[in-house]
Amino acid sequence: MNWPSNQAERRHALLNAVESVRQTVQKNVPFGERNGHLHKDTTDAIHEAGLLSLKLPTELGGAEADPVLQTEVLGALAAIDTSAAWCTMVGATNVGSAGAFLPDKGIDIVFPENAHPSIVGVGMTLGKAIPTEGGFLIDGRWPYGSGIKGSEWVTGGAKVELVSGNISAQSGIRALFKTSGVRIIENWDVAGLKGSGSNDYEVSASFVPQELTWSGDHTPERGGSLYNIQRPA
């Protein structure tokens, strides 16, 4: 979807989007508390309302909301369900990061015809990436996969070891995996934010093509000043 270019109109549209999911999200709060993850109806409603595009560059149909507006929108959702708001924040950050930093070939895969995906994960470089033809083989385990059970894609940070002669250096990348190819570790046993389903997740020797990665010091391909700190502010 495309959000209004006028700031006041965009704010109104985003807050209306939160209001449009109120009934569905509120109804399913007990499910999240019982089952340790959001109900599918909740994740679908948030996705369909366009709230995961909160931090996405406008050229991909996102709201590219400034930090003040982000806080207002997420606060309105948190007043309904804190777990849903947390997962929306995580999802919007990852969708925004992928939209800003993926190369064009990656955008064609993850955002086909400007469709907005659901992406979760963390950027901590806890994985290991081995360069191979066309991409990387990645092993790793990451904590805090908030909303992972309702996602299409998962991100994970990994260290790439580059060897030149006797000199070894490491650099960090972010990689995108299909959620269906990731192992979810059921270890989210908590008292608060139970519905966020922030389980650990891992991959083993998973091939990720170059176009589904970006480096930690990469200059944004799209978007404005919001992305100059290597992630949506």
Each domain of the chain, given as residue ranges in start order, spans 7-114, 119-217
What's residue 134's pLDDT? 94
Least confident of 77-86, 102-111, 118-127, 164-173: 164-173
Model pTM?
A: 0.94
Residue 233 clears pLDDT 80, i.e. is over it: no
What's residue 84's pLDDT? 98
Per-residue confidence band for 113, with pLDDT thresholds at 50, 70 and 90: confident
| Separation of alpha carbons 212 and 205, rounded Å | 16
Percent of the chain with pLDDT over 90: 85
Domain 7-114 class in CATH: mainly alpha
Residue 217 clears pLDDT 90, i.e. is over it: no
Residue 173 clears pLDDT 90, i.e. is over it: yes
Average pLDDT, the chain: 93
**Edge-to-edge strands, sheet with 213-215:** 183-185, 199-209, 135-145, 119-132, 153-164, 167-178, 213-215
What's residue 163's pLDDT? 58
What's residue 226's pLDDT? 83
* Both tokens assigned to 180: 């269906």
The residue that leads in pLDDT, 29 or 233, is 29
| Separation of alpha carbons 121 and 131, rounded Å | 22
The correct answer on CATH 2.40.110.10 for the domain covering 119-217 is yes
What's residue 168's pLDDT? 47
Mean pLDDT, to the nearest integer, of 37-43? Answer: 98
